[in-house]
Amino acid sequence: MSTATIQTIDTPDGAFMILSDEAGRVMSSGWTDDLDRLLGRLRLQDRPTAVSPGETDAAEAALAYYDGELSAIDAVEVVQHGTPMQLTGWSALREIALGQPLTYAQFATHLGSPQAVRAAASICARNAPALFVPCHRVLRTGGALGGFAWGLEVKRSLLDREAGLLVG
């Protein structure tokens, strides 16, 4: 039986929910107050059997991020399950520098597969611990936002914050 802790905090981009495992690692997170939506970001076999409200270490980092300490999210531990390529991709997302987003094509090249642009986009789309694994830092060629599970307004807000255009 696996148990998880759920915490919702208020951010300038709306409610932000964090689901952490027993070790405090973020399993899933996003701008919602709907637990089912957050659980839906996980593969069925990776979902906890029990979820209870509580405090998460990641909440403090998320609040610090929104208070201007943008690197606070970098040290938050996450746990993700997927294919070797997905795991490599999710790890690589954490290496994208603040304020320097990549295009999906650049991200595919960074992963060593320049022709695998759709696979790179899929890695971003299947990322469950949003914010802590910053898939929002990947854009379409030409700078268009592309997709984002939590809405393009949130993605734009995060990118603007990281470019120094937003404070608080």
pLDDT score, position 95? 94
Phi, psi of 102 (to 5 degrees): -105, 160
For domain 3-75, is the CATH number 1.10.260?
A: no
Q: Are 101 and 139 in contact (CB under 8 A)?
A: yes
- Across the chain, which has 168 residues, the per-10-residue mean pLDDT values are 92 98 97 96 95 96 96 96 94 93 93 90 95 96 86 95 75
Pick the CATH number of 84-162 from 1.10.10.10, 3.40.50.1100, 3.10.50.40, 3.30.420.40: 1.10.10.10
pTM more than 0.85: yes
Residues of the chain with CATH 3.30.160: 3-75
Q: Are 158 and 13 in contact (CB under 8 A)?
A: yes
Q: How far is the C-alpha of 122 from the C-alpha of 111, rounded, in Å?
A: 13
Q: How far is the C-alpha of 91 from the C-alpha of 127, rounded, in Å?
A: 11
Q: Six-digit token pair at 24?
A: 């405090």
Looking only at the bridges linking them, the beta strands covering 14-21 and 3-11 are antiparallel
pLDDT score, position 29? 98
Three-class DSSP labels, 102-132 = EEHHHHHHHCCCCCCHHHHHHHHHCCCECCC
Q: Beta-carbon neighbour count of residue 22 at 10 Å?
A: 10
Is position 124 annotated as part of the catalytic site?
no
Residues of the chain with CATH 1.10.10.10: 84-162
Given the residues 121, 135, 138, 159, the one annotated as active site: 135
Greatest Cα pair distance, the chain, in angstroms, is 46
Residue with tokens 């999906």: 104
